[in-house]
Amino acid sequence: MVAQNGNSRAHSTFSDINFNLSYQGQPIARMIAEPFDVPKSSSKTLNYVVRFASIPLTPDQMEEVDESWKRDVIGFDLKGSARTR
């Protein structure tokens, strides 16, 4: 994930950063970052170490995961927010 500051006149402060990663509505991980600054006209890569446990899947979900592996594509949902100043 990359935080980008397109403002050429001032730095930006990012805070209250909170994202939830899920698969088929099943929560997998919560990603939280401490507040940080990004210099003007710059960007910062956020590196997350995500630890998670296995999630229970229905037989239909297991079949969908199997098909996704065969296609080399698995879709996840990432929802969240951050504040900038």
Confidence check: pLDDT of 13 > 80: yes
Long-range contacts of 63-67 (CB under 8 A, 24+ apart): 64/24
| 44's tokens | 């910062």
| Spatial separation of the C-alpha atoms in residues 47 and 59, rounded to whole Å | 33
What is the structure's pLDDT at 78? Answer: 94
Q: Quick one: average pLDDT of 58-82?
A: 91
What is the structure's pLDDT at 81? Answer: 95
pLDDT band at 54 (very low <50, low <70, confident <90, very high): confident
| 14's tokens | 């990012």
Pairing mode, if any, of strands 77-84 and 12-23? Answer: antiparallel
Q: What backbone torsions phi and psi does residue 58 show, to the nearest 5 degrees? A: -75, 165
Confidence check: pLDDT of 7 > 90: yes
Top pLDDT among 45 and 49 is at: 45
Q: Quick one: average pLDDT of 38-43?
A: 97
